[in-house]
Chains A and B, each alone.
Chain A
């Protein structure tokens, strides 16, 4: 089954404690991205990757890091989480070259206290 998986689905942590949210896709997609979704603000892109070893900032990259060492995996790293990073996070993947249809993971609800 074609899918995007994320782990963990739920995470409660404390300020400053480094964490990683994993994302994996089995569709051989070149393009992967991370979004955060907040009430009233909608979906905002954090980082994206066009292919292995190629990453770039989205609209809200501050406080986040990513890496793309393998085509299927695109982890999101919060090295020093803060309460304003409490949010619902989605990983997505797509082919490149259009029409850019996104396949989303199930989401990770992160709470930073």
Chain B
């Protein structure tokens, strides 16, 4: 069972356009992270959101955590070719003591054309 549904799976846009990627679940998460992965490399953390309703901005990227901590969105303003990559969301659930379970969405492959 896929706990984190990420959409869209693929997105191809022109430079300068805006876009939003969604990450949805029926589960409540302790934190939710967004990563970007470029071909041939490991995922790199972009941001972590912890509080319901939290909004974080990273230059042209805006991340929002849902009020109930079950969903998140990533909005990119005026996309650039350098934004091209695979965007992954990951939800963390504490499971007793210092243990936790991290579940990844399947990712959104973004291509920004010049």
A residues engaging B (CB < 8 A)? 4, 30, 33, 35, 40-45, 50, 90, 92, 96-107
Count of chain A to chain B residue pairs whose CB atoms are closer than 8 Å in the complex: 64
Main secondary structure of the interface of B (DSSP, over half): strand
- Nearest B residue to A96 by beta-carbon distance? B98
Given A40-B106, A41-B106, answer yes or no on A101-B99 (Cβ-Cβ < 8 Å): no
- Asked whether, in the complex, the Cβ of A100 is within 8 Å of the Cβ of B92, the reply is yes
Please measure, in the bound complex, the distance between the C-alpha atom of A30 and the C-alpha atom of B98, giving whole angstroms.
10
- Asked whether, in the complex, the Cβ of A105 is within 8 Å of the Cβ of B105, the reply is no
5 A-B pairs besides A98-B50, A100-B102 with CB distance below 8 A are: A43-B43, A44-B104, A101-B48, A104-B44, A106-B42
Given A41-B106, A50-B98, answer yes or no on A100-B30 (Cβ-Cβ < 8 Å): yes
- Asked whether, in the complex, the Cβ of B100 is within 8 Å of the Cβ of A100, the reply is yes
Centre residue among B35, B40, B92, B102 by max chain A CB count within 10 A: B102
**A94: min CB distance to chain B, Å:** 8
- Asked whether, in the complex, the Cβ of B42 is within 8 Å of the Cβ of A98, the reply is no
- Asked whether, in the complex, the Cβ of A107 is within 8 Å of the Cβ of B90, the reply is no
Chain A residues with CB below 8 A from B41, complex form: 106-107
- Asked whether, in the complex, the Cβ of A107 is within 8 Å of the Cβ of B40, the reply is yes
- Asked whether, in the complex, the Cβ of B30 is within 8 Å of the Cβ of A42, the reply is no
Chain A residues with CB below 8 A from B11, complex form: none
